[in-house]
Amino acid sequence: MISREDALQLDAADPLAALRDRFDLPAGVIYLDGNSLGALPRHVAGRLHDAITQEWGQGLIRSWNEAGWSDLPKRVGDRIGRLIGAEPDSVIACDTTSINLFKVASAAALKSDRPIILTDEGNFPTDVYVLDAVARQHEKEVKMWDPLNDEIGSDVAFVAMTEVNYRTGERHDMAGITNRAHVAGAEIIWDLAHSAGAFPVRLAECGVDYAVGCGYKYLNGGPGASAFVYVSPDRQADFANPITGWWGHARPFDMSLTFEPHEGIDRARIGTQHVLSLAGLDAALDVFDGIDLADLRAKSLSLTGLFIELLSDQVPSAEVVTPTDSNRRGSQVSFRHPSAYAVVRALIDRQVIGDFRNPDIARFGVAPLYVRHVDIWDAVGHLVEVLATNEWQHAKYQDRAAVT
């Protein structure tokens, strides 16, 4: 069995090890919740300070031009595009993941007279709510399917999937499912909330039509950071944004009362962008500059593989639900426990921060930019103690009103 010294040696050989120092991580905390909120890159505070005091405070409205505020969504979008394998000028940073999903789902629904929208039962609830709303508006029906066993029928308008299951960490086969959708004459939408910044994504290579994702998880853009939307170049000309705002106009400052969509990805914009949010996200993306994304994936698999190995050896009562097959694994590890909520709360009190998902999932996000192998080793050690001593049975950990 791997020892703590072995874990330290793996960290010493890690080509990404120096990146941890670029994050402002609290002393003594093992942070395994980057799949809900990424850690703070140290330099982001300074960038926001300048955006507030200099660009806003001194530049005032002139900063839309002089500080480049007007172009921030496109610039940030292009930087995210590199991480998700997108073509140039096909990603824009704006709005929220849910709003962006509504945009692309509505556009895909409008183009097709087929009655069915497919998604899977493991999709994030908000995505399903948005798809239900789109289905009602376009007289379609959302159906659940099993991508491993079910076919895509000739009645399907589009398929909407989240690449990594938010509960289990299972990674779906983007290339295979996208191809199956296209063979069936359907379009495809991928939610990259648990992918972007955690491992390489290959949207263009896989022929994806649309994708959405958020900026505050593995991209570390801060709470509620701007999201992003991808529309493939061959879908942009007929992409009908259902919310037609002035920043999506071909000539927004003409102030015309007749809407004429921008010819490119800017048509996915609606209203005035959140400049401070975008400034923080833009700064956070600096951490990815010069990184080989293959190294990012290799470290993610090493960390999650170690986590699964240690759980198997030391916590046999934990039912690991994350795939052991590295091709089917995202960048998190989850296990079932009948009192997962209380276990996670006890770990948090020990400064091991993960989270819980109903009904019985303990979930731990592994952000390879700053999580170390020794963090995984120590976290499992704390888990062993919590379970061995029944620490989780303390009354204070049973109150579900608390947020984890």
Among 191, 209, 266, 375, the one annotated catalytic: 191
Catalytic status, residue 146 = no
CB-based contact 325:394 (threshold 8 Å): no
Tokens for 308, please give them. Answer: 């699964």
Catalytic status, residue 217 = yes
Query: What is the identity of the amino acid at 12?
Result: A
Catalytic status, residue 356 = no
Among 217, 267, 329, 372, the one annotated catalytic: 217
Question: What pairs with residue 235 in β-bridges?
Answer: none
Among 23, 124, 288, 397, the one annotated catalytic: 124
- Residues contacting residue 234 through CB under 8 Å, at least 6 positions apart: none
Of 34, 40, 31, 14, give the one whose Cα is nearest residue 287.
40
Q: In angstroms, rounded to a whole number, what is the distance separating the alpha carbons of residues 247 and 302?
A: 43
Q: In angstroms, rounded to a whole number, what is the distance separating the alpha carbons of residues 6 and 3?
A: 5
Question: Residue 35 burial (CB < 10 Å; 0-12/13-18/19+)?
Answer: buried
Cβ-defined contacts of 108-111 (< 8 Å, 24+)? 108/157, 108/158, 108/187, 108/189, 108/209, 108/210, 109/134, 109/135, 109/137, 109/138, 109/140, 109/157, 109/158, 110/138, 110/240, 110/242, 111/157, 111/187, 111/238, 111/240
Question: What pairs with residue 218 in β-bridges?
Answer: none
Among 363, 364, 370, 375, the one annotated catalytic: 363
What radius of gyration do the chain's Cα atoms show? 22
Catalytic status, residue 124 = yes
Q: In angstroms, rounded to a whole number, what is the distance separating the alpha carbons of residues 268 and 228?
A: 10
Among 102, 210, 216, 364, the one annotated catalytic: 216
What SS3 class is residue 69?
A: helix
Q: Which positions are catalytic?
A: 124, 191, 216-217, 363
